[in-house]
Each structure stands twice: as structure tokens, then as C-alpha cells.
Amino acid sequence: MHLDDLPDGGARGFDVPGLRCKVIVVRRGDQVFGWRDLCPHYAGGTPMAWKRDAYLNGAGTHIACHAHGAWFDMETGACVQGPCLGKRLTRVPLRVDETGTVSTLP
Amino acid sequence: MQIIGPDLLVFGVDDVPACHEFLTAYGLNAQDYTPETGGYFMSLDGTGLEIRRRDDPSLPPALKTGNMLRLQVLGVVDDAALEAVAKELGRDRQVLRLADGTLRCQDDQGFELSFRVTTRKALDMPAEKVNAPGDYGRKPNQIGVSEDMPAKPRTLSHIVLFVPDIDQAVGFYRDRLGFRITDTLTGAGPFLRPQANPDHHTHFFIRTPPYMQGCEHLAFHMGGPTELMMAGSRMMKQGFESFWGPGRHKFGSNWFWYFKSPLGCNVEFDADMDTHDDDWAPREAPMGPEASQAFLLQWREKWAPTGGPKKD
């Protein structure tokens, strides 16, 4: 994925070989943050979008799980509201190279 | 207490157009809708949802948890039933009588409630018919499924609430409003049906910490399992995301398919729910995968044994 494929403030889900869940990539300016698409409300986690790539709350301020309304901080992954208060998303470390190409770190 | 069940569920949401996109794809009909103010989303018998912006001043106060449910409007059979509710609840709380004839109050845990003489229409529609040796439900030449068959939600079925105190919830809905407990999933909570509705449940309570209080999911009844499968498959094809199902629950026997939604809760299709009367003896089972479903399936893209399945 290239940085230009994701508008500032946007989110997208990607299939990553070897992972059983998608990886959510959110962009804030030139920074990107990667999270496993697994809401920690239930053990093992469940996917969070209500339709393809629809990961954010209405105001676009938080990653939201659309099963039961949990909100997560985009930069820290901490749940700030809803069923998994006190839990957090699992980070997927990302790298952006000088050409703007985004990739997962091994 | 002659209560039928939810006529209307009101939500104050973050993203009204997203709810419009989701709920119309789900099969509800938008009425008096604008992207700025929201509107109604109705099933075939006139029960449904009202979707407004979170900051709409016409809405009752929001729950402290961020859950978007703002009001349950419960339908009763007639004026006498409405008076009975007003008299019973007026004993220990303020019951407002609004200009439109409805009652407004809170339950014991702060969920906003309204009561009105139901506005739902009686449906004159056949259920899905099944053919089996010994009992042919369909006439000769009457086909069972077609790609373009209608699959519209018929009526609001039930609401499931995350509640901090099950005893308090049961104390209110069973002991004050006369709901019957039909079955209980121990560790989660009870299924309840009001007296004027034979459906296995219009309400189900799940015990949670107070910071989760709100609507866990809501469901509409479909005309049968085939309609449920068609409606859900159409949602999947359009990129909406399944949460759980399709499958068939044990308690209630209803087929289910849950979808995540911009209402901040799951929205379920259900079909072929059991009905009960007061001769029913409630069952109990510990909450868990076995008690929750007779079977569970997972959608995938169509394939045929000629070219092989598409790789996930």
C-alpha cells in the first residue's frame, strides 16, 4: 500500500499473508498506525467494520467496533468507551519508506 | 398487562447517512428521512426504528455509556391496557402523559420507555412453506426460492439489552409489567415475552458491568429461513459484515444472522421463532456455544463443483 492510497484521517483493512485477521491501517497526517481487526470484547477477538473498510466512528475520531460500540484510540489502541474498557487493540508495526510505501515490519 | 412488544426503537447516532445505507440494505423502508435530521425505518407491519442525530434535542437523554439506544416504544393492545400500565408504574415513578397520548417513563435502570396503543398493522402474508414427504406445504408448480424473491423484514421481533442488574430488570419487566420468563441462559440472563405476544421473546437481558449498559442487538422477523438466507446473502454481496450466523438458536428455535451496524449494536434477521403460552415450563442452560445454537454456518462466495471454490 502507498500512503497516497489512504486519505488523511481514513482507515482501510488489508489482508496480510499469515494473519487470520485483516490489518486495519489508519492515517493521521504522514503517520500510519496498524491494528489487528480484532475487537478484544470477546476472547480471541472479532472483526469490527460494519461494511468493508468502515472502521471509524461517525465523527472519524476513533476506531469503532460496530458489533457493540467500543471506541479505540487510533494511536494507542486503548479502548476509551464501550464493552472492552481497559483493554486494547493489538498493534501491527508498520514502516513507511522514503517513497511512501507502507509495509508491515517482520 | 396487555403489552405486545416493541413498536419503535429510537437511536441517536453519529452518522445518519451510514445508518440509512445500512438499514435500507437490510430491507427497512425509509420514511420522512433527510440526511440532516434522520427519519424512520419501517418493516412491513409498521414497526421499526427511528434514527436521529446524537445531538437531536427532541431525543430523551443519552445513556452514560455511549450506547446509541435512546428510547423503546412498547405497543399495548388498547386504551385500557395503556391505563393499566400508567396506574401500575405511576405508583412509584413519574409517568408523563404526552400530547400524542403516549406514556413516558424510565425503567429501574434508567432505560427510557414509552408506551402507546400499538400502531402495527395485522399482516396477511403466508409464512414460508416447506414440502416434505407426508406433508406438502406448497401447491404443485409453486416454487420455493428464486433469485429475486422478496425478503423484507416483517415486524420488529426483539431487543437485547446489556443490563447491570438482572434482578432489577426482571423485577421491573416481570413483576411490574407482567412479562413471562420463557427460558434462561444462566450466566447471561432471561428471555421474556409480554402477555399479549406469544413469541418466545421480545426482550433478552445480558448481565454486564455498568459501563456497557445499552442495546446489545435488535432483530426483525423474516417470513422464513429462506428469506433470512436471501436477505443476509444480499447484505454480504454488498460488502456488509456478518457478526454471527447464519444459524439456528436453541432457545426460541429462531434462525439467526447478525450484522454489525453503524447503530453501534448488532442488527439481526430472525425467522421461525417458537411461540408459547402460560402452560410453558421455562428451561435453563448455562450460556455458551452449545446452548446458544443448534448449528452455526458461515457465508462464503458462491461456487459450484465445476470450477472449484474461490480462494479466501
Of the partner residues B66, B243, B259, the one whose CB lies closest to the CB of residue A69: B66
Residues 161-180 of B with CB under 8 A from A: 162
B40 close to A (CB below 8 A): no
The confidence score (pLDDT) of residue A106 equals 76
In this complex, which of B162, B211, B241 lies closest to A50 when CB atoms are compared?
B241
Please state whether the peptide bond connecting residue B246 to the residue before it is cis, i.e. omega within 30 degrees of 0: yes
The span from the CA of A61 to the CA of A41, in Å, is 20
**Which residues make beta-bridge pairs with B184?**
B190, B284
Overall pTM surpassing 0.90 (yes/no): yes
Instruction: Please write the tens of the pLDDT for every residue from B51-109.
Output: 999 999 999 999 999 999 999 999 999 999 999 999 999 999 999 999 999 999 999 99
A47 and B CB contact within 8 Å: yes
Cα(B88)–Cα(B212) distance, integer angstroms: 29
Tell me the backbone φ, ψ of residue B228, rounded to 5 degrees: -60, -45
Closest residue in B to A65 (Cα) is B264
Q: Give DSSP secondary structure letters for A18-77.
A: T-SS-EEEEEETTEEEEEES-BTTSTT-B---SBTT--B-TTSSSEE-TTT--EE-TTT-
Residue of A47, A69, A85 lying closest to B265 (CB–CB)? A69
Distance of CA B188 to the CA centre of its chain: 18
Query: Where residue A17 falls among pLDDT bands split at 50, 70, 90?
Result: confident
The helix (run of H) or strand (run of E) holding residue B42 is strand B38-42
Cα–Cα distance, B271 to B76 (Å, whole number): 23
Second-level CATH architecture of A1-106:
3-layer Sandwich (2.102)
A82–B239 C-beta distance less than 8 A: no
Confidence of residue A105 (pLDDT cuts 50, 70, 90): confident
For A95, other C-beta atoms within 10 Å of its C-beta total 12
B1: its cell numbers: 398487562
Could you say which of A50, A57, A83 has the minimum Cβ distance to residue B260?
A: A50
Stretch A61-86: mean pLDDT, rounded? 96
CB contact under 8 A, A58 and B67: no
Residues of chain B scoring pLDDT < 50:
none
**Residues B274, B217: contact at Cβ < 8 Å?**
no
Q: What is the pLDDT of residue B312?
A: 55
Across the interface, of B65, B216, B240, the residue whose CB is closest to A50 is: B240
pLDDT at res. A4: 87
Q: Which of B26, B260, B298 to mutate to test the interface with A (most CBs of A within 10 A)?
A: B260
What span, in angstroms and rounded, lies between the C-alpha atoms of B163 and B67?
A: 12
Cα distance from B246 to chain A (closest Cα, Å)? 16
Euclidean distance between CA atoms B268 and B292, whole angstroms = 15
Rounded to whole angstroms, the Cα distance separating B251 from B255 reads 11
Cell matching residue B91: 405508583
pLDDT at B311: 66
CB contact under 8 A, B67 and A69: yes
Q: Read off the pLDDT of each residue in A96-101 and give the average, rounded to a whole number.
A: 90
Secondary structure of residue B281 in the 3-state scheme = coil
8 Å CB contact of A47 and B241: yes
B265·A48 Cβ contact <8 A: no
**Is A82 in contact with B66 (Cβ distance < 8 A)?**
yes
Assess B65–A contact: CB distance below 8 Å, yes or no: yes
B264·A48 Cβ contact <8 A: no
| B107–chain A Cβ distance below 8 A for any pair | no
Task: Output the CA torsion B59→B61→B66→B68 (10° steps).
Answer: -30
Q: What are the residue ranges spanned by the domains of chain A?
A: 1-106
Verify whether the Cβ–Cβ distance A68 to B18 is below 8 Å: no
What pLDDT sits at residue B310?
Answer: 73
Cell of B141: 408448480
pLDDT over 80 at A49, yes or no? yes
Q: What residues of A are in contact with residue B240 (Cβ under 8 Å)?
A: 50-51
Residue whose C-alpha cell reads 398493522 in the numeric block: B121
C-beta separation of A55 from A11 below 8 A: yes
8-state DSSP, B100: T
Whether B15 and A58 lie within 8 Å, measured CB to CB: yes
Inter-chain touch B264–A69, beta carbons under 8 Å: yes
CB pairs under 8 A between A and B: 67
Closest CB to B264: pick one of A46, A51, A66: A66
Are B267 and B261 contacting, i.e. CB atoms less than 8 angstroms apart?
A: yes
Q: What was the ipTM of the complex prediction?
A: 0.93
B18 touches chain A (CB under 8 A): yes
Which domains are delineated in chain B?
3-121+152-296 (3.10.180.10)
CB A102 within 8 A of CB A25: yes
| Alpha carbons B144 and B155: distance in angstroms, whole number | 22
